[in-house]
Amino acid sequence: MHAEADDSLQLYFCYLVSEKRVADHTSTNYQRDLKRFQSFCNVQELGLWQQVQDRDVRNYIAGRHKNGIGSKTIQRELAALRSFYRFLLKTNQVAHNPAQHVQAPKVSKRLPHVLDVDQMMGMLNAMPDSVLEIRDLAMFELFYSSGLRLSELVMLDLSDIDFSEGFLRVRFGKGGKQRQLPIGKKALEALKVWLANRPGSGQAVFVSLQGCRLSQRSVQLRLDRWGKKNGIAEHLHPHMLRHSFASHLLEASKDIRAVQELLGHSNISTTQIYTHLDFQHLAAVYDQAHPRSRKV
């Protein structure tokens, strides 16, 4: 593309950081996505951004889909293109947004993987044999007790936990939202044992032996290690404990609104995926128990 097109792209990247103040990973992704689209335009001999038409964007998206690129990635690439062209419209560099009405392939809804109740109990009833494992058990109890996201757990401070009332406060939820969550009896007990052994004098609840706040990666590695040690063959990750919390709670309560609030979902459609998990369980029970369903 012409130098003018390169200049517009660089101005947009500066705009993302200085005015839009997007997160670093968003800026990095958008830059990569737009440079990839720019390469496509070079092949198509499109020298200026105003020469790009809706059909060009559709052809690009169709090619990405044909090459096996996932729907979520393509949706992000389209979002980057739409945002870039809104910037070009705002600065009077183009007359229309060719990405505005282009649709990405639909994302297939994959059901989250969960542990069953027996697996969870076996994992959480295992006895720790070191200070680090006392900490780890407290983390995993809290994941399952309160349905926390990984980022929410590592950002917990001592002041966020009310032991007398059995609640914790999430200050750094998704989208900057705060919420209050109950803490189960077992998780409270595990927390108290950990805090009696916790090194350092900082505010972070979960720290290393040096007293530094744990990173998300450290928690992921410790959970996988704990699962393998306690007989769970599959790879464990923190969100699996959150999924298990939601699925088990919904199965027992049938109260999707309550589960939505506890998970911190802004839209109930996000929570509804757990109703599919619940239905799978009910269907399995039906197949095993109904006299007209059992296979001969």
**Which residues 6+ apart lie within 8 Å of 225 measured at CB?**
none
Q: Distances in Å between the alpha carbon of 293 and those of 104, 282, 284?
A: 40, 13, 10
259, two tokens: 């589960």
Catalytic residue (choose from 58, 113, 169, 265): 265
**Which phi-psi region, left, alpha or beta, contains residue 45 (left: φ > 0; alpha: ψ -120 to 50)?**
left
User: Does the active-site annotation cover 243?
Assistant: no
User: Does the active-site annotation cover 265?
Assistant: yes
User: Does the active-site annotation cover 174?
Assistant: yes
DSSP for residue 16: I
| Best CA proximity match to 250, nearest among 124, 106, 117, 71 | 117
Catalytic residue (choose from 135, 198, 242, 243): 242
**Which residues 6+ apart lie within 8 Å of 137 measured at CB?**
124, 126, 128, 190, 194, 226
User: Does the active-site annotation cover 217?
Assistant: no
Catalytic residue (choose from 64, 149, 198, 248): 149
Catalytic residue (choose from 174, 177, 185, 254): 174
CA 116 remoteness from chain centre: 21
Round to whole Å and give the CA distance between 285 and 280.
9
Within 10 A of 279 (CB to CB), how many other CB atoms are there? 11
User: Does the active-site annotation cover 96?
Assistant: no
Catalytic residue (choose from 113, 179, 237, 239): 239
User: Does the active-site annotation cover 242?
Assistant: yes
Supply the residues annotated as catalytic. 149, 174, 239, 242, 265, 274
